[in-house]
Amino acid sequence: MNRPVRRVAAACLMLFAMLLVQANWVQVVKAKDYRNDSRNKRVLLRTYDRERGPIVIGVGKDRQAVAKSVVTKDPLKYLRTYPGGPSYAPVTGFASLVYGYTGIESQESTVLSGEDDRLFVRRLSDYVTGRQIAGGSIVLTLNREAQQAAYDGLAGKVGAVVALNPRTGAVLAMASSPSYDPTGLSSHDPSRIRSSYKALVNSPLDPLVNRTVEQRYSPGSTFKVITAAAALGQGMTPTTVLDAPPSQSFGPGRPIRNFAGETCGSNSKQTLAQALATSCNTAFAILGTKVGQDALEKQAAAFGFGRTDLRLPQRVAKSIVTADADKLPLVFLAQSAIGQKDVTATPLQMAMVAAGVANGGQVMRPYLVQEVQAPDLSRLELTSPELYSRAVSPTVASQLSAMMQGVVAGGTGGGAAIPGVAVGGKTGTAQGVAGQPPNVWFIGFAPANDPQVAVAVFLDRRSGFGADATGGRLAAPIAQAVMRAVLGR
């Protein structure tokens, strides 16, 4: 064989080898990606040809689907529906023909679609017996009554509510307002889906955003719980006397004043417990400068600030104390100590602060999925409670709990009081632009001696209340309703 022929033969062999490699790359290496690509019509038909599993709350007779599939006469056999509607939308998310999956629909999609590896034997059995392949179920931790109380409390407002089981981290309520109905996004009509989505995206109030975890806000005076925790950790006690003048300057700029220019205590002195009960700004601003930036940041981090490693389907915004690691000017440190300046937190994070205090200083990792079930309701997975962090010692937690009970019993948080129940809490009013309404907060827990629920309520200034709004007047009653719902009172 002469040289030119050998060269042609070698080139042909190389081309065949390349074709073989390409075929294996497409059919073996990339097969899963192509199979799961939403643009693959075979995948689309297969997805809608089987019953997607339900997302449910409750067990036994109390079991209720908040998302499920129903049979249609369309070419796409099953239609995703949302009996839970807007009240559960921030949690369930949506399953859309055009825009894919969000929320639990996304996080647990392989189970709901029946494609999870743990369902392989079931799929094989269905194929052999000719039984219709179906997806598994996702059982949420949400408490029906608490979720409804949270959603009702936010009606007509812009804000968020989170309730946790302090002992386990289970999310009992997660509501964001305004919300949306996922049904319009799960239609089989692409034009209707795009129209619904466009209206939601163009809304100035961002109904698709889950405000409980996806956005952070200045926590105002609820952050004083963290400042108090840092002070107690340094050896102070609830009876430590603090300076509490009507106003206090920390250098250039406007001095820090108390709400409505009030005077705290007699002779401008208050104990730490009294300062928390009355939410005295000047006392905590001065306290923050004594505690120091490092201790304040360390204490916040112990409660979860700066972390996002949670068992949740949504992107979790990172709560922060300072925007950078530089040493803060004294005035900025004073502002940070009262939850202003660069301090921002998600409502979930502030619920974790309340839960950590209630649970003896231990913060449990929040989670939404209680159980994963096969189509026959057999258990595939059960979530076990997990310690997230040790925020404070049991002694400090006990001191904070008693101080927070004083906030509700005789301070700014009276709107959260429940007759016959020891309730701990802290109000927050976060000032923004001068002359504009503030954002308002409440965090709390109950019963203090047997904690079953911790809650955070956040109301955005766009809710329509006046410039004199306070967390005690507006947010605390919503928290009370949620706690009562969990406690059955």
pLDDT tens per residue across span 297-333: 999 999 999 998 888 888 899 999 987 667 888 999 9
Q: Is residue 109 part of a domain?
A: no
- Backbone region of residue 130 per phi and psi (left: phi > 0; alpha: psi in -120 to 50; beta: other values): left
Contacts for 340-344: CB closer than 8 Å, 24+ residues apart: 340/218, 340/220, 340/430, 340/431, 343/218, 343/219, 343/223, 344/216, 344/217, 344/218, 344/219, 344/319, 344/320
The residues pairing with 137 across neighbouring beta strands, listed in sequence order, are 373
DSSP 280: -
In-domain check, residue 113: no
Instruction: Give 165-190 as a DSSP string.
Output: -TTT-BEEEEEEES---GGGGS-S-H
pLDDT of amino acid 314:
80
Q: Please, are residues 342 and 321 in contact by the beta-carbon 8 Å criterion?
A: yes
Helix axes 293-303, 224-233, angle to 10 degrees: 110
| DSSP string covering 333-355 | HHHHHTT-TT-BB-HHHHHHHHH
Q: Which among 112, 116, 58 has a CA at the least distance from the CA of 88? A: 58
Q: Classify residue 472: in a domain, yes or no.
A: yes
**Cis omega (within 30 of 0) for bond into 178:** yes
Residue 438 and residue 432 in contact, taking contact as beta carbons nearer than 8 Å: yes
Instruction: Round to whole Å and give the CA distance between 112 and 54.
Output: 7
Cα-to-chain-centroid distance, residue 319: 11
pLDDT value of position 16: 75
CA 25, 28, 32, 33: dihedral to nearest 10 degrees?
0
Question: Looking at the domain assignment, is residue 334 inside a domain?
Answer: yes
Return the structure tokens found at 398.
């006990």
**Rounded to whole angstroms, what are the CA distances from 292 to 77, 226, 337, 350?**
62, 13, 9, 21
Give residue 46's pLDDT: 67
Task: Name the active-site residue from 96, 137, 218, 221.
Answer: 221
Residue 125 lies in a domain: no
Q: What CA–CA distance (Å, rounded) separates 241 from 275? A: 9
Rounded distance between C-alpha atoms, residue 175 and residue 148, angstroms: 9
Residue 355 lies in a domain: yes
Q: Residues 92, 142: contact at Cβ < 8 Å? A: no
Q: 98 Cβ partners below 8 Å, 6+ apart? A: 190, 193, 194, 197
Answer yes or no: is 468 within a domain. yes
Residue among 308, 297, 333, 371 at smallest CA distance from 53 = 371
In a domain, 447, yes or no: yes
- Supply the pLDDT for residue 74: 87
CATH of residue 307's domain is 3.40.710.10
475: domain range?
A: 220-369+383-487
CB distance 132 to 126 below 8 Å: yes
Q: 């109000």: which residue's tokens?
A: 427
| Number of domains within the chain | 1
Residue 54 neighbours by CB under 8 Å, 6+ apart: 65, 67, 68, 69, 137, 138
Single pTM value for the model: 0.89
pLDDT of residue 7: 72
Task: Enter the tokens of residue 189.
Answer: 């009509």
All residue ranges of the chain with pLDDT < 70 are: 1-3, 5, 10, 21-46, 120-131, 260-261, 324-325, 432-435
Q: What pLDDT score was predicted for residue 81? A: 97
Q: Is 221 a catalytic residue?
A: yes
CA–CA gap between residue 53 and residue 114 (Å, rounded): 8
Q: Considering Cα of 405, then 411, then 417, then 421, what sign does the dihedral take?
A: positive
Report the SS3 class of residue 161.
strand
Residues linked to residue 68 through DSSP beta bridges, in sequence order: 81
